[in-house]
Structure 1
Amino acid sequence: MNREAVVPESAMDGEEFVRATEPYRRELLAHCYRMLGSFDDATDVVQETYLRAWRAYDAFEGRSSVRTWLYRIATNTCLTALTHHSRRVLPSGLGAPEPDPTAAPVPAAPGVRWIQPVPDALFGPGTEAADPASVVLAREDLRLALVASLQYLSGTQRAVLILRDVLAFTAPEVAAMLGTTTAAVKSTLQRARTRLRQLAPAAEDITQPTAPEAHHVLDQYIAAFQNADASALEHLLRRDATLEATPFTTWFAGNHTCVPYLRTWVLGSPGDWLMLPTRANNQPAAMTYARTPQATYHAYGLAVLTVTTTGIRHIHAFHDPSLAELFGFPPTIGPA
């Protein structure tokens, strides 16, 4: 005898919850990354956000959109996380640049929490994206220098600035999300904008050339590194270029110190490095491999370039082999 299949009510609720909330996962991840400066922390908070949302979904009365409701949960979860951890930094946030290019890099003390890069592929359009505009929002304002600057704001200032200026929520919407008044939101936003103007890079430092031009600069950078060609690197770097690399506190400002440091401590011989092009934080980047005595290449980390129309303004290097997996690269390549 045939029996009609009965779908449990909990399963139907689960399917409805997924349909209603899943289209916003990528942009929520970008939002939490801006707030926290860490892909790992952002991933954890997004998971917690969806868990809290699932538990509260039956009580959701539709007084706001699902998207606004999820941002309220995610933002407050981020603010809670920020009360338990120190801010994340780049080496340039820990002190002045090193004037001596022959100085050995100094490892940071244990416990320093570093800004983490994120692959552009995580925020590209996907089949789950219900609104193309939301994907664009998720890609904007992810550049490393701006994410690092945001970490100097208080948690509330950070939240208000991102929700208002990046995501374009209204002041009353933000007030409702944070449990405060519209007047308080406007005052906090003004203070946050003032502080960010003091911290953020100049306009020319974040203005990108066309995509083909930036890609061409990245190709030249990779070729110079793989050939251990310091002169080619000097030609690519602007005179005011800066270089910093985690997990070291040592960093350099000015072509005159960056290039000698690279020549002394990093470049080595032709073939010591292998680099593969990628993109991180909406910037050109190179996954970096170091050659072993067995002629294989092991993942070393990631170099993220700030490219302007007049050359490379900044090199952020991250010594973290685990980034290879995050960016979709193998941990080992070779033999050469």
Structure 2
Amino acid sequence: MTALDTEATFAQLVEPLRGELTAHCYRMMGSVHDAEDLVQETYLRAWRAFHGFEQRSSVRTWMYRIATNTCLTALEGRSRRPMPTGLGQPASDPNGALDNRPEVGWLEPLPDAVVWGKPTDDPADQVVSRESVRLAFVAALQHLTPLQRAVLILRDVLAWPAAQVAEALDVSVAAANSALQRARAHVETMVPEEDQLVDDHARELLDGYVAAFEHYDVDRIVELLTADATWEMPPYAGWYEGASAIGTLIRNNCPAQRAGDMRLVATAANGQPAFGMYMRDLDGVHRAFQLQVVSLRDGQVSHVAAFFDVSLFDAFGLPREFPADHS
């Protein structure tokens, strides 16, 4: 086999795995940018080792093993990527000052298009389940040690047997099982109940949510939230609990003053509804302001993560200025 044939065979085997490996590295790292870089590193390592791959395991298993260890190496000496709710502090006063912490490496949302390419009508056709990349689940993973994170993902997301996990991570089966037990106990306390499917009723709710913002109708926004809804917005360290408190937060801090100041463009992140929000500037142009990832429960909005890092608009393929064809 020539070098070109080998390269073509390698690409044919591993290229279909890119989306799911990106999801895997994202769960480990909490950053879509880091995940894409580490998938590239995984492919480089796999290519260098391809001549010695004897197919004792499937290509998928082999690639996941390389990806996991690539992530573990990258995590050495790194801090976890939190969300504000994971900092261990109580809910903030919506009448208080905002605490901006740009120096923190915050958790990032994952564009659905990076994993699935395009929406699919049948969840059974998806190699990566939407539940496995939910923002709350990935946020919970960030509280685990790197080893616990890897073991939980390999066992509970990918359904690998304990012996296979132990071999991949070069630990004993007992150590892998112990890490899994501790990881499960921690994650179970941190992941809230959410509606998993976006049906016609949920779409109607989301349409109303968009309309409430675009009309700057704070009372209506509050009505659409669950009584115990939470709102957080990296890089601000505070988080807010309760529909009324969230309404107060918006009234006190949102730059919008009237209907039309905010425009929202629908997208999807972490298998959830998401919106790029644009705020009207002094020159009348609507510019990228925040990216919201929305969780639903029992027909209302239960959680909003509003990310103020406008570079995320690039990752989601959203323009920095409100597109004219949405006017």
* Structure 1 position 301, deviation (Å): 2.2
Corresponding position: 1:139 with 2:133: no
Contact 2:131 2:196 in 1 (8 A): no
Would you say the 8 A contact 2:202–2:299 is kept in 1?
no
Amino acid of the structure 2 residue aligned with 1:235:
E
Q: Deviations over 1:69-112 (max 9, x none)?
A: 1111100111111113100011112243444322221101x531
Instruction: Map residues 198-217 of structure 1 onto 2, 5 A cutoff.
Output: 198-201=189-192, 205-208=193-196, 210-217=198-205
Deviates more, 1:248-257 or 1:116-125: 116-125
Is residue 174 of structure 1 aligned with residue 165 of structure 2? Answer: yes
Distance 1:134 1:176 in 2: 29
- Which residue in 1 is equivalent to 2:290? 301
Change (3 A) 1:239 1:317: same
Residue 325 in structure 1 maps to residue 314 in structure 2: yes
Following superposition, the deviation at residue 327 of structure 1 comes to 1.5
Quote the Cα distance in structure 1 between the aligned partners of 2:54 and 2:3.
18
Give 2:82's match in structure 1, choosing from 78, 89, 104.
89
- Could you tell which deviates more after superposition, 26-35 or 94-103? 94-103
2:67 matches 1:74: yes
Letter in 2 for 1:238: T
How far apart are the structure 1 equivalents of 2:203 and 2:133?
A: 18
**Which one has a bigger Cα radius of gyration?**
1
Q: Are residue 105 (structure 1) and residue 98 (structure 2) matched?
A: yes
Using the alignment, how far apart are the partners of 2:47 and 2:229 within structure 1? Answer: 47
Aligned to 1:129: none
Q: Normalising to structure 1: TM-score of the pair? A: 0.90
Of 260, 274, 279, the match for 1:290: 279
Shift of 1:167: 0.8
| 8 Å Cα contact 1:215/1:284 also seen in 2 | no
Q: Secondary structure at the match of 1:213?
A: helix
How far is 1:200 from its partner?
A: 2.3
Q: Secondary structure at the match of 2:287?
A: strand
Answer yes or no: is 1:121 the counterpart of 2:113.
yes
Contact 1:45 1:77 in 2 (8 A): yes
Tell me the C-alpha RMSD between the 2 structures: 1.9
The 8 Å contact of residues 31 and 138 in structure 1, kept in 2 or not, is answered as: no
Deviations for 1:149-197, whole angstroms, at most 9, x for unmatched residues? 0110111111111111111111122122111222322222112111212
Residues 306, 313 of structure 1: 8 Å contact kept: yes
Q: Per the alignment, in what secondary structure is the counterpart of residue 279 of structure 2?
A: strand
Map of 1:180-329 to 2, 5 A cutoff?
180-201=171-192, 205-208=193-196, 210-266=198-254, 267-329=256-318
Q: CA deviation at 1:252?
A: 0.7
Report SS of the residue matched to 2:132. coil
1:28 match: secondary structure: helix
Matches of 1:84 and 1:49 in 2, distance apart?
Answer: 20
The one-letter code of the counterpart of 2:107 is I
Give yes or no for contact 2:232–2:239 (8 Å, CA) kept in 1. yes
Contact kept in structure 2, 1:30 and 1:123, CA below 8 Å: yes
SS in 2 for 1:199: coil
Q: Distance in 2 between matches of 1:134 and 1:45?
A: 26
Preserved contact between residue 245 and residue 317 of structure 1 (Cα < 8 Å): yes
TM-score where L is the length of structure 2: 0.92
Q: CA deviation at 1:20?
A: 1.3
The CA deviation at 1:142 is: 0.8
Aligned length in residues: 320
Change (3 A) 1:133 1:98: closer
Partner of 2:52: 59
- Structure 1 residues 287 and 11: alpha-carbon distance in aligned structure 2, compared to 1, 3 A threshold: same
Q: Are 1:160 and 2:151 an aligned pair?
A: yes
Identity over aligned pairs, percent: 46
The letter for the 1-side match of 2:170 is G
CA distance in 2, matches of 1:19, 1:155: 31
Q: Deviations over 1:199-237 (max 9, x none)?
A: 222xxx323354222222221111111111011011101
The aligned amino acid for 2:180 is L
**Counterpart check, 1:21 vs 2:9:** no
